[in-house]
Chain A
């Protein structure tokens, strides 16, 4: 029996005045890949921000446990250090901060939390270059300010690079496939698959079944109107591709 990594129970959350997550339940065990699919505006990104602890996303009831601890009591950075990684739908640009500097701070913050010595610059650059090469990000790109002037696909590669280096216990990918050409899609998927070791878990939010050909999920959930309305295996994704969400949206 594998251990439970994430346990979300009867979660309600709002953004501003608007209730968006309504009675959401989900349990992810170590090593599992869960896919969430659902119509625009259902609350998928909202869920991912609630998991990451973004200010302004207020949980009104319910609980989230991560490795048995109360995730909701942790700050954003504590969650990241515990192993929650959010690969964002719209990665943020940070002018003036080189990607490599940013990633070094990030890696060392997490290493410090794990009582590991900080990596020195040389060691770090070596790792960064190696992993970057696998993802088709050259040294010059890695020196550029975080996401500034990156194309949509390059931004997603940089997110994947961070995931590859930080090796989080739980990676939440919010539309990692949006705006990617087929080659970039494969690169991102390979990045994810390289991390799959039977212990790390993934929550993959996507609109397209295609991504799930490359990152094969153990479970697929349909998310509509703030909660999961149907769960199944990978075949559910194929079904959705064919029929759309009409059935679930009507329910509401």
Chain B
């Protein structure tokens, strides 16, 4: 047993690119450490549990059946299955124009991948991404060739089968959509076993969207209720490209999904939406940082949360508009429904506007369930709990209904309902 930094055997220790990143990651993590209350970027989310010294690095693949995991997905897809952070299998059938392989294999074989790796990943400013690259080993490389439009979504499932020990694992994916490519990428984090495990899932996605390409990225975080889940999505979008991100968080004790989008060229656009629902003592954090670096770029964010018990919702949203990014627009809205007196939200919007002729807006609102609405529904025979549920679902549905793929939005609706016991 030990803390977050441990010395373990990783694949290809002598490959220079891997050595470089592992060393740089270690240095950057040691310089930053686990964030404290003084770390500005982590002001509201305090990952104290991560200072414990009883983490066990997940290195061996438990015995699972792949089909058990893919059965959880009710639509046709290209599955990638991880178990406790370890890749179980590559996808079996791949259409032409799509390549998926372990990231370290891609780094071993391909100079271009080596050059692309980490271009935007300033691990010196992201402690957990630094830690993740120190352990650079697990994760996939996904490549969609020019003008290829995938028929099915790529679905990455990580299933944590947790026992008494507190596992720690890192996944690092690199996703490239070449010019004009179109793809959907789903991430689904779920678990079974000891619900009280304080395991730690530490995820990094580097996403490169080239000219006129489009990625719809859906994520569901449903970890065990004492687990920690920290993810960084580092996205860059070139001319005319589009990133459509959505993340539902409904699990973990500390759950943080952070997305940075670099709108690098003219007409690049992004939507970064999120929904969260939680009670108990958890903190669910949605952090975004949208950088408008070129003219006529456009971004939009709608984040809605439902918080009960003594849980806390955090939204930190930054929009940065660089001097040359004229005629851009950035919209941001966070809304939360508080179901109990102990529920809390912390919202920190930040606008940095250095250009003229831009349209920017941000807003935040929070409220409680409306008694008049509840009474109206009850007066039509619907019991109070069911009425509350309908209102909660409706509240989140404003975000879900924006998703582009109906099969995926139906699936996400069903996951929101699953095992939900949000009593307020």
Q: Which residues of A contact B (CB under 8 A)?
A: 52-55, 75-77, 79-81, 85-86, 88, 91-92, 94-97, 101-103, 105-106, 109-110, 113, 145, 162, 166
Contact = CB atoms under 8 A, between A and B. Distances in A.
B394 A162 contact: no
A92 B379 CA distance: 11
A85 B376 CA distance: 11
B381 interface: yes
Nearest to A93: B373
A248 to B, nearest CB: 30
B381 A113 contact: yes
A94 B394 contact: yes
B380 A162 contact: yes
B395 interface: yes
A109 B382 CA distance: 6
B376 A97 contact: no
Interface string B365-392: 0000001110111111111101000110
A94 B391 contact: yes
A96 B398 contact: yes
Given A101-B390, A105-B390, A109-B386, A94 B381 contact: no
Contacts of A102: 377, 380, 382, 390
A157 to B, nearest CB: 16
Contacts of A94: 373, 376-377, 391, 394
Nearest to B394: A96
Contact of B378 (A80, A85, A97, A103): A80
Nearest to B375: A54
B397 interface: yes
Looking at B379, B380, B393, B395, which has the most chain A CB atoms within 10 Å of its CB?
Answer: B380
26 contacts: A52-B375, A54-B375, A55-B375, A76-B375, A76-B378, A76-B379, A77-B382, A77-B383, A79-B379, A80-B378, A80-B379, A80-B380, A88-B379, A92-B372, A92-B375, A95-B394, A96-B397, A96-B398, A102-B377, A105-B377, A106-B380, A106-B382, A109-B386, A110-B381, A145-B394, A166-B380
Contacts of B386: 105, 109
Given A94-B373, A96-B395, A109-B386, A86 B379 contact: yes
Interface in B391-418: 391, 393-395, 397-398
B384 A91 contact: no
A41 B384 CA distance: 30
A54 B394 CA distance: 23
Contacts of B384: 75, 77
B375 A106 contact: no
A109 B380 CA distance: 9
Contacts of A79: 379
Nearest to A97: B394
Contacts of A166: 380-381
A103 B373 CA distance: 14
Nearest to B380: A106
- Sorted nearest first, the 4 A-B pairs with minimum C-beta distance are A96-B394, A80-B381, A92-B376, A76-B378
Looking at B371, B378, B398, which has the most chain A CB atoms within 10 Å of its CB?
Answer: B378
Nearest to A103: B380
B371 A55 contact: yes
Given A92-B372, A95-B394, A162-B380, 6 more contacts: A54-B379, A96-B393, A101-B390, A102-B390, A109-B380, A110-B381
A50 B382 CA distance: 18
Contacts of A92: 372-373, 375-376
A51 to B, nearest CB: 10
A145 B394 CA distance: 10
A54 B379 CA distance: 8
A94 to B, nearest CB: 5
A145 B395 CA distance: 12
B378 to A, nearest CB: 4
Contacts of A101: 390
A95 B397 CA distance: 10
Contact of A91 (B371, B376, B382, B394): B376
Nearest to A84: B379
Looking at B376, B377, B379, B381, which has the most chain A CB atoms within 10 Å of its CB?
Answer: B381
Nearest to B386: A105
Contacts of B371: 55
A101 B393 CA distance: 12
A166 B384 CA distance: 18
Nearest to B395: A96
Contacts of A113: 381
A182 to B, nearest CB: 27
A110 B378 CA distance: 11
A106 B387 CA distance: 10
A59 B382 CA distance: 23
Contacts of B393: 96
A75 B390 contact: no
A103 B377 CA distance: 9
A86 B379 CA distance: 7
